[in-house]
Structure 1
């Protein structure tokens, strides 16, 4: 490698490292701003939330934060669709039968 190519590669590695460090610092700051709230829900609801989060390729906690944020900040907007509520009701009925 020439000196110029080595410098360019080193600069690219430093830039990538700096971006990763900034992302980690941002995630840590966000985590430090959050409070932990624990709540018990029926197993069927927990499974529905996990399935939905998996389908959306996000962590379950991120999905729950999104649902709660929408419910609190825009209570007129339905958090779940009619179809989703019906599916949850069917699961609860099946599990209780």
Structure 2
């Protein structure tokens, strides 16, 4: 829960949406994991398994979380209705 949203001038709904859109920031986790594995080789293997599992989950759920976060915060337009497949559009 974004506790410091009022200090940043964000509504709680906007801050929650922003938090969801930041989920796919996995490259930073991989870099930090690599540094820890180099400094502590015995601990690095266990950490690699945990971090890679979390990164895979975030990469799969990240785009959905971004879409949800933007819609939840009211920062994206609603999806336009689509014509059925094979329909002829009149001009």
Please give the TM-score of this superposition, normalised by the length of structure 2.
Answer: 0.30
- Flag the structure with more relative contact order, 1 or 2, with Cα contacts below 8 A and sequence separation at least 6: 2
Q: Which has the larger radius of gyration?
A: 1
Please give the TM-score of this superposition, normalised by the length of structure 1.
Answer: 0.29
Give the structure with the higher percent helix. 1
